[in-house]
């Protein structure tokens, strides 16, 4: 797979800009506030249908504009594939080879991408929602049907929450809640199975990477804790019973107390939570290991590496981790887009671009 170009119209600070990319490393250099990250965000949005920075498309519009358009071209097995994303009047339309997609799940995973920025430390430092999001985004790229399952599950959760908060008569609540519980269990089991499967594969791929980063002095463990169970069999089999056990408490507290929307991914360093006990440098190594493991899993699944987007990552890594990452990229021939404020001597062979005030030009 090769990403050949992107066209941005009225996206962030870009009025009408076309950028051609090349195999290997592509380096975007510019001062802060010039639009480097906006390019990376545009590419990520084009490939996944989501921004990693904001939740509302309105915030992606160029000032005083009502619509934006993104267009990208890719080469897959010598065949050109085009992707488009058009946002207008609070509606989003996506196309593959100029053919509209009815659902986002028909679009996600066409081109795989891994994004890495200093903000990804939130996977270690943040709450369970950040780690669930990490799992779900990766699963969706390899199994796009996961998006539809998540959407249906979240809809059922929303409807059950509304029922719990309603002033309906208690017996009516009991009967209706059971209907939603059946849907939540059916969909939730699929989510749990997908997450358990990915967690096991991540563990197998990330453990040796972290061992190399720590000179075999420390051990990384990744454990998906679902419904308070560490075994997928226990979680799946006991889910209906656990839902029934929580029913009275849920009605009393008017909130859903159990389900995969409350699960967590435990990232352990030497059997202790990395969130509490890992140093800043160790946390960076944990995230780096997870990101490189993601690259390997997609290669195993799709037969080739995904596009890699690095937003101001190298400046946040110490020399050892930076060298490890750049060696990995170069040895694997991964097409990579990197943003930075100054050129890095370790990336002299890359294609260099200068970004200034919403315009970009190739420098070498």
Domain residue ranges in the chain: 1-111+306-364, 118-302
Q: Is 26 annotated as a binding residue?
A: no
Task: Give the pLDDT mean for 157-178.
Answer: 90
pLDDT at 232: 93
CATH of the structural domain 1-111+306-364, one choice from 3.90.550.10, 3.20.20.80, 3.30.9.10, 3.40.50.300: 3.40.50.300
What's the rounded Cα separation, in Å, for the pair 308 and 26?
10
205 CB-near residues (< 8 Å, 6+ apart)? 292, 293, 296, 297
What's the rounded Cα separation, in Å, for the pair 37 and 277?
31
Indicate the burial class of 186 (C-beta count within 10 angstroms; 0-12, 13-18, 19 or more): middle
Pairing relationship of beta strands 359-362 and 351-356 according to DSSP bridges: antiparallel
**Which H or E run contains 264?**
strand 264-269
Instruction: Please give the class, per CATH, of domain 118-302.
Output: mainly alpha
pLDDT at 205: 97
Q: Is 344 annotated as a binding residue?
A: no
Q: Are the CB atoms for 13 and 358 separated by under 8 Å?
A: yes
98: left (phi over 0), alpha (psi -120 to 50) or beta: left
pLDDT band, very low/low/confident/very high, at 97 (cuts 50, 70, 90): very high
Phi/psi at 84 (nearest 5 deg)? Answer: -135, 145
Task: Give the pLDDT mean for 26-44.
Answer: 95
Pairing relationship of beta strands 336-340 and 359-362 according to DSSP bridges: unpaired
pLDDT at 169: 85
pLDDT at 102: 86
Helices (H), the chain: 36-48, 122-125, 128-142, 145-165, 170-213, 232-245, 247-253, 274-277, 280-302, 319-332
Reference 10, options 55, 46, 64; nearest CA is 64
pLDDT at 347: 57
Reference 313, options 129, 37, 24, 55; nearest CA is 37
Whether 146 shows a pLDDT value over 90: the answer reads: yes
For 233-260, b where at least 16 C-beta lie within 10 A, e where not — what string?
A: eebbeebeebbeebbeebeeeeebebbb
Per residue in 40-69, pLDDT tens?
Answer: 999 999 999 989 898 899 999 999 999 999
DSSP character at residue 306: P
Q: Is 37 annotated as a binding residue?
A: yes
Q: Is 228 annotated as a binding residue?
A: no
Q: Is 31 annotated as a binding residue?
A: yes
pLDDT at 348: 60
Whether 84 shows a pLDDT value over 80: the answer reads: yes
What's the rounded Cα separation, in Å, for the pair 329 and 346?
11
Pairing relationship of beta strands 336-340 and 351-356 according to DSSP bridges: unpaired
C-alpha torsion sign, points 7, 142, 304, 352: positive
Q: Are the CB atoms for 225 and 264 separated by under 8 Å?
A: yes
What's the rounded Cα separation, in Å, for the pair 270 and 311?
29
What's the rounded Cα separation, in Å, for the pair 359 and 39?
10
DSSP character at residue 70: E
Tokens of residue 136, six digits? 């779900």
pLDDT band, very low/low/confident/very high, at 34 (cuts 50, 70, 90): very high
pLDDT at 247: 92
What's the rounded Cα separation, in Å, for the pair 116 and 218?
23
pLDDT at 133: 94
pLDDT at 107: 87
Q: Are the CB atoms for 275 and 267 separated by under 8 Å?
A: yes
The CA-based diameter of the chain, rounded to the nearest angstrom, is 72
Q: Is 35 annotated as a binding residue?
A: yes
Query: Percentage of the chain surpassing pLDDT 90?
Result: 82
Task: Give the pLDDT mean for 170-179.
Answer: 89
């Amino acid at each position: 797979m090769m990403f050949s170009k992107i066209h941005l119209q009225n996206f962030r600070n870009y009025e009408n800009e076309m950028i051609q990319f090349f195999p290997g490393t592509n380096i975007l250099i510019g001062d802060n506030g010039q639009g480097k990250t906006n390019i990376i965000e545009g590419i990520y949005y084009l490939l996944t249908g989501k921004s990693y920075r904001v939740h509302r498309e309105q915030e992606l519009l160029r000032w005083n504009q009502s619509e934006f358009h993104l267009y990208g071209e890719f080469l897959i097995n010598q065949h050109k594939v085009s992707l488009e994303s058009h946002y207008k009047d609070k509606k989003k339309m996506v196309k593959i080879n100029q053919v509209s997609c009815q659902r986002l799940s028909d679009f996600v995973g066409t081109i795989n991408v891994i994004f890495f920025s200093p903000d990804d430390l939130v996977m270690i430092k943040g709450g369970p929602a950040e780690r669930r999001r990490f799992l779900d985004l990766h699963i969706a790229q390899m199994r796009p049907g996961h998006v539809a399952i998540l959407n249906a599950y979240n809809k059922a959760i929303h409807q059950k929450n509304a029922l719990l908060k309603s002033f309906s008569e208690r017996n009516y609540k009991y009967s209706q809640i059971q209907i939603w519980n059946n849907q939540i269990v059916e969909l939730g089991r699929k989510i749990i199975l997908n997450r358990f499967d990915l967690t096991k594969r991540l563990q197998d791929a990330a453990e040796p990477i972290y061992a190399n980063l720590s000179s075999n002095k420390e051990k990384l463990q990744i454990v998906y804790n679902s419904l308070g169970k560490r075994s997928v069999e226990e979680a799946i089999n006991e889910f209906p019973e656990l839902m029934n056990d929580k029913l009275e408490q849920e009605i009393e507290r008017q909130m859903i107390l159990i389900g995969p929307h409350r699960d967590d991914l435990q990232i352990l360093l030497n059997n202790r939570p990395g969130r509490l006990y890992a140093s800043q440098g160790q946390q960076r190594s944990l995230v780096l290991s997870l990101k490189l493991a993601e690259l390997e899993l997609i290669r195993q699944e799709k037969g080739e590496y995904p596009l890699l987007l690095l937003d101001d990552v190298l400046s946040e890594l110490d020399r050892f981790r930076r060298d490890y990452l750049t060696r990995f990229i170069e040895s694997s021939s991964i097409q990579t887009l990197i943003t930075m404020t100054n050129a890095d001597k370790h990336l002299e062979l890359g294609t260099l671009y200068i970004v200034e005030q919403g315009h970009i030009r190739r420098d070498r």
